Amino acid sequence: MDPGSSLGYVNEKTAKSVHLSIRPSTHNVSMSVGSLQESVLGRCVAELTLNGIRYQNVSLGVTKNLCSDVLLGQRFQRQHEGVVLVYDGTKPELVVSQRREACVVAAATTVECPSLFNCLTSNWRPVCATSRRYSAADTAYIECEVKKLFAEGIIRESKSLWRAQPLVAMKTSTTTYSI
């Protein structure tokens, strides 16, 4: 279940493994990070059974790099009064409805993310540049900072073709700043 997605999607491998008929379709879908987009390879119609309820003619986009086998978005979820996701957390249940008191949260789930690269056509690829060379001290500093930021959840792994190389600048011989 993905309350941030308006439509449903199926991983290409999953669709092929259950012999779904894929109709060609080419467009991009924006992910939760606005600069990330995934190509939709086609559309298929599936019959799903979830918790004993049978759903017929469920339209799903087919993508190559989906984070799960099937992702069911708001169009599917809105067939129900509500969708309960159980996380086993320590705090009490958090209920967000489409009513007036939650309109800001509900509206945020349907806002389209603007593209940072809307001036580029879909077939453009980044220019390949050689990686910078770093001293052993700079390399150790970069690795340490990346591990720390990753552990704190500030950064995450990415499969994006676009990258920015770090620049390490020394202010004094004892203080390192990363830019």
Mean pLDDT of the region 77-86 = 80
**E-only strand ranges, the chain:** 9-11, 23-30, 37-50, 53-63, 70-71, 168-170, 176-178
Which residues is 18 bridged to in the sheet?
Answer: none
The answer on pLDDT for 167 being more than 60 is yes
pTM above 0.85, yes or no: no
How far, in Å, are 5, 12, 22, 62, 81 from residue 97 at the CA level? 16, 33, 35, 29, 10
> Residue 138: CB partners within 8 Å, gap ≥ 6?
168
Residue 15 and residue 70 in contact, taking contact as beta carbons nearer than 8 Å: no
Average confidence (pLDDT) over 76-84: 82
pLDDT at 106: 40
**Domain ranges within the chain, ordered by starting residue:** 9-108, 136-178
Q: Most confidently modeled of 14-18, 24-28, 93-97, 123-127?
A: 14-18
pLDDT at 107 over 60: no
* 14, 69 Cβ separation under 8 angstroms: yes
Whether pLDDT at 104 is above 70: no
- Residue identified by tokens 């997605």 is 5
Alpha-carbon separation of residue 134 from 16, 137, 165 (angstroms): 45, 8, 11
Whether the CB-CB separation of 42 and 23 falls below 8 Å is answered with yes
Looking at residue 24, what is its pLDDT?
85
At residue 118, the pLDDT reads 60
Q: What is the pLDDT of residues 2-13, one digit of tens each?
A: 666 778 888 888
